[in-house]
Amino acid sequence: MQVDCLIEVIEAARKSWEYVLGLVPADSMERPDPHGGWTVKDHIAHIAWHEDQMVQLIEAKALVGSPWWELPTDERNEHIHQQYKDKSFQEIQSIAEDSYLRMMAALATLEDADLNESKRFENMPEDWIPWTLIAGNTYEHYLEHQIGIRRMLRNPKWEA
């Protein structure tokens, strides 16, 4: 994977993510999903947390970050939810924009080899490929959450 290609893929996926967010009425951002309980604001905060973790990874050039990574996914997600749940939608928007911009700036500092060789990151297992870790926490993650938000938008119980 090349840095410029990864950046292009993330930017394209981010546009799609933002398009889906734009489909959500402003007064519905904090309305819970009847099937899962998360609000659109929660999805945005969740994505921002993961982007922030990628900033830490890239800037340190090491597998560093929150100790929550050691938890099972559902527990980690609950910790993330608790961290952000009392913040206003405007605060979450600001955090999300900042995380994304910092992550994109950090990505631009990498060399192609950084994305493809685990040895270029401290503490990273040899069988891990750095760009796939970044992909899973960015463009692949955006798609996963877009699906959930689109499901919410189609649910008549959510619109009620």
Q: Interior CA angle at 110 toward 53 and 128, to 5°?
A: 60
In this predicted structure, the answer to whether residue 156 has a pLDDT above a threshold of 90 is: no
Q: Which DSSP symbol is given to 24?
A: S
| Residue 152 vs residue 2, higher pLDDT | 2
Count H helices and E strands in the chain, helices first.
8, 0
Model confidence at 159, in pLDDT bands (50, 70, 90)? low
pLDDT digits (tens, 9 = 90+) for 105-151: 999 999 999 999 999 999 999 999 999 999 999 999 999 999 999 98
For the four alpha carbons of 79, 13, 54 and 100, in that order, the dihedral sign comes to: negative
Amino acid at 31: R
CA distance 25 to 131: 34
Q: Is the pLDDT of residue 80 over 90?
A: yes
- Please name which of 132, 155, 107, 118 lies closest in space to residue 4, comparing C-alpha atoms: 107
Q: Say yes or no to pLDDT of 10 above 80.
A: yes
- pLDDT for 107 equals 98
Q: What residues pair up with 62 in beta bridges, in sequence order? A: 122
| CATH topology (fold) of 3-24+38-155 | Four Helix Bundle (Hemerythrin (Met), subunit A) (1.20.120)
Q: Give, rounded to a whole angstrom, the gap between the first and last alpha carbons of the chain.
A: 45
What does the DSSP assignment read for 34-84? TTT---HHHHHHHHHHHHHHHHHHHHHTBS---GGGGS-HHHHHHHHHHHH
Other Cβ atoms within 10 Å of 116 Cβ, number: 14
Q: Decide: pTM greater than 0.85.
A: yes
Rg (C-alpha) for the chain, rounded Å, is: 16
Tens digits of residue pLDDT in 58-76: 999 998 889 999 899 999 9
pLDDT at 160 over 50: no
What tens digit of pLDDT does each residue of 14-52 get?
999 999 999 999 999 999 887 777 999 999 999 999 999
Task: Report whether 150 contacts 63 (CB < 8 A).
Answer: no
What is the spatial distance between Cα 88 and Cα 96, in angstroms, rounded to a whole number? 12
